Amino acid sequence: MQRSKEDIHMANLKKKTRKRTRKFEIDGVMVTTTTSKVIWGDEESGRTWDDHALRKQELREIKMLQKQEQKQFQDLNAKEHQLRDQQDKRSEAELASLSRAHEADLDTLARAQRAAA
């Protein structure tokens, strides 16, 4: 696919380069470093967007979603624990009630047997 001169020119208009030069001293020697960063412009809105800024925004959103997910998971665990405790108490109460009813029936049968004897 061949790109025309106009396409290349339009792409270059969207492309902006930011250069940053840093000078510092290491062991008495002055060192200069230059870094270049390409920023692409959005021709419709005239705004420029930066891959790093977009990535940071995505990471913030992911972190927020992870926090929400973790909170939901903790809430769900707490609710499950509460429901399990309620179910255990209900089972214990029902078992105690059945045990008392069984003891009462045994006492009634024992009295009836003694009375018949």
All structural domains of the chain with their residue ranges: 1-49, 56-117
The residue type found at 23 is K
The residue type found at 65 is L
**Residue 48 pLDDT grade (very low, low, confident, very high; cuts 50, 70, 90):** low
The torsion region of residue 34 among left (phi > 0), alpha (psi -120 to 50) and beta comes to: beta
Predicted confidence (pLDDT) at residue 111 exceeds the cutoff of 80: yes
For the beta sheet containing 48-49, the strands, ordered from the edge strand earlier in sequence to the opposite edge, are 15-26, 29-41, 48-49
116 or 60: which leads in pLDDT: 60
Structure tokens belonging to residue 65: 């979603």
Tell me what pLDDT residue 5 has: 77
The C-alpha atoms of residue 66 and residue 54 are separated, in whole angstroms, by 18
- Report the mean per-residue pLDDT for the chain: 86
Least confident of 15-19, 43-47, 54-58: 43-47
Predicted confidence (pLDDT) at residue 109 exceeds the cutoff of 70: yes
Longest CA–CA separation in the chain, Å: 119
What are the Cα distances from residue 45, in Å, to 14, 42, 51? 12, 6, 17
What is the pTM for the complete model shown?
0.45
